[in-house]
Amino acid sequence: MTGLVDAAPHHDCEVLVVGSGAGGATTAALLAEAGIDVLVIEEGPWIEQGSVVPFSLEQMDRQYRSGGLTVALGRPSIAYTEGRCAGGGTEINSGLYRRPVEATLERWRRTHGVVDFSDEEFYAACDEIEAALSVGRVPGRHSPAGDRLRRGAAALGWQHEEIPRWMTYPTSTDAVAGRRESMTRTFLPRAFAAGARMLCEHRVDRLIHDGDRAFRAELTRPDGTPATVDFRDVILCAGAIQTPALLQRSGHRGLVGRSLAVHPTVKLAARFDDDVNVPDHVPVHQVNEFAPDLSFGGSASHPGLVALALTDHWDLMRGAVTDWRRMAVYYAAITSEGRGRVTALPGLRDPVVTYRLTRRDRALLGKGLARLALVMLEAGAEAVFPSFRGAPVVRTRSDLADLTGRFAAGTASVMTVHLCSTVPMGSDRSRAAADSHGRIHDTANVYVNDASLLPDAPGVNPQGSVMAVAMRNARRFVEERA
């Protein structure tokens, strides 16, 4: 791939961008197109899209941090996933795209004092992103699992919709034929075409400062030897876990890493009377009858993930996994009131992540799982297998009361793929770790431009918000450096 450079003991650039996901790739492209000398550092490898099977164990091993085995400690603990590859999370997620509503933007202005943040400018950035990523709806047939969810919601009279994706359909109009327009296919090639360079499989260990200015990054190369990068400005786009951890390792504390926000989810597996499973596809329909507090959708249903959804009551449910072709996994996601922390500790390579659900969060997860089970029954499921220890098999509406009575958040397999808000932006220094355009308070040239900046969880897939904020901030950066 043109733009990738070889490992060397030292590099120089005008702007160092750490991370190549939704925030980093967008930032690198816009800065390089403005004539700025950009070097992108990515901890993971460059893996061509299509060279691994989506949602497979091989993909988890090669493109996820720690093989996907990462967890926020708490009661219950919450499993989460981070992309660790060129393109970051855009290479491994389902490609679903949602704009945040105007009420979310107004809340961020009000609660954190985000200034120069107009709806018009934000949604204009969304328009540009949607064109660049070919965001749209499926032009042909939907997957069977997604269609089942739609049918169940329609039978109950609940609001539901198809969520757009950043996909193109080069071989067929069917949903399963979509090709993800991730960062390695869109903004990273744009950055390279404009002269940006990129180092893969290099870890940024810390930033070195002289007063309020950072001037050097200390790296570890693929062979374990050290390297350095000297820069004029640095923009951290390593995600809501690694960005605050790097800042803390570099001496920044205060509010950094103290306000992690996520969308916790609980899951179930539903078995139907015909084949519904498409292992490398995620359904595009969601049920939003109870939004923004609660939403339902389809999850990846690779056979291994079906088995994982059944493990909380394996003695009762292990026989069901042989029917994986007739099964699909679905989730109930909540907008959480709880918060978590990211803490980098000396001697540990990765930070310690904690999260605390509130009483309301715990109750809402239980309600969400029961309502999701009801949707599945209305969709024609012959058996529903909720993912919590001691869960009953749900076959009729009368079983839902048993499900509700047995559910406890502490026994559930809670997870999330949406992480944000660990370096929130805004002018209110009592709540924001960075200013309204991503510069860390009391620094001259240290910026953040990824999901860490979002003041709270937006209640929808955050990638659209991340990219729009990154585009806004990158353009402001260029204006200020002109």
pLDDT, position 201: 96
pLDDT, position 45: 96
Say which of 142, 285, 302, 418 is annotated catalytic. Answer: 418
The closest alpha carbon to 343, from 409, 265, 422, belongs to: 422
Classify residue 237 by its DSSP letter. -
Q: Phi/psi zone of residue 59: left (φ > 0), alpha (ψ -120 to 50 degrees), beta?
A: alpha
Tokens coding 58: 């091989």
Examine the residue annotation and report whether 252 is marked as an active-site residue of this protein.
no
* Strand-strand pairing, 414-416 and 78-80: parallel
pLDDT, position 190: 98
3-state DSSP percent of the chain in helix, strand and coil, to 5: 35, 25, 40
Beta-bridge partners for 136: 165
Q: Is the pTM of the predicted complex or chain greater than 0.85?
A: yes
- Which residues make Cβ contacts (< 8 Å) with residue 70, sequence separation at least 6? 79, 80, 81, 82, 241, 350, 353
**Confidence grade of residue 305 (pLDDT, cut at 50, 70, 90):** confident
Count Cα neighbours of 278 within 13 Å in the Cβ-side half-sphere.
18
**Would you say residue 352 has pLDDT above 80?**
yes
Predicted confidence (pLDDT) per residue in 128-174, tens digit: 999 999 999 999 999 999 999 999 999 999 999 999 999 999 999 99
pLDDT, position 420: 97
Q: How far is residue 335 CA from its own chain's centroid? A: 14
**Section 99-119 average pLDDT:** 96
3-state secondary structure 331-385: EEEECCCCEEEEECCCCCCCCEEEEECCHHHHHHHHHHHHHHHHHHHHCCCCEEE
**Would you say residue 192 has pLDDT above 70?**
yes
Residue 355, phi then psi, degrees to nearest 5: -150, 140
DSSP, collapsed to helix, strand or coil, labels residue 46 as: coil
Mean pLDDT estimate for the chain = 94
The closest alpha carbon to 217, from 205, 201, 235, belongs to: 205
Residue 44, phi then psi, degrees to nearest 5: -95, 180
Angle at 71 between CA 104 and CA 165, to 5 degrees: 45
pLDDT, position 432: 98
**Confidence grade of residue 93 (pLDDT, cut at 50, 70, 90):** confident
Predicted confidence (pLDDT) per residue in 23-75, tens digit: 999 999 999 999 999 999 999 999 998 888 877 778 888 988 888 889 999 98
**Confidence grade of residue 437 (pLDDT, cut at 50, 70, 90):** very high
Using CA atoms, how far apart are residues 440 and 84, in angstroms rounded to an integer? Answer: 24
**Section 420-449 average pLDDT:** 98
DSSP, collapsed to helix, strand or coil, labels residue 187 as: helix
**Confidence grade of residue 1 (pLDDT, cut at 50, 70, 90):** low
